[in-house]
Amino acid sequence: MVCVFVMKKKINNPISSIEYICAKCGTVNELNINDDYICSNCLFRILYKKKRIGIKKIIAI
């Protein structure tokens, strides 16, 4: 009698882009991890991280 166990490995897919909202014009920007935190519409540097529950303020230096 041969028993074979098959284990399913959980694959964690990292988020490729995160949505940010511009503090000046309200444009939704999708930025990757290594991108500069600058609005694509008005080039403003204060962005808010878009979450399901709340918004977190991000200021680029």
The pTM assigned to this predicted structure is: 0.58
Q: Find the length of the chain.
A: 61
55-58 contacts at long range (C-beta below 8 A, 24 or more positions apart): 55/21, 57/23, 58/20
Torsion of CA 30, 32, 36, 39, to 10 degrees: 0
Written as one letter, the residue type at 14 is P
Query: In the structure, what pLDDT confidence band is assigned to residue 18 with cuts at 50, 70 and 90?
Result: confident
Domain 18-59 adopts which CATH fold? Rubrerythrin, domain 2 (2.20.28)
The rounded distance, in Å, linking the Cα atoms of 23 and 19 is: 13
The CB density around residue 39, as the number of other CB atoms within 10 Å, is 22
Which range has the worst mean pLDDT, 33-37, 46-50, 53-57? Answer: 53-57
For the chain, the domains span 18-59
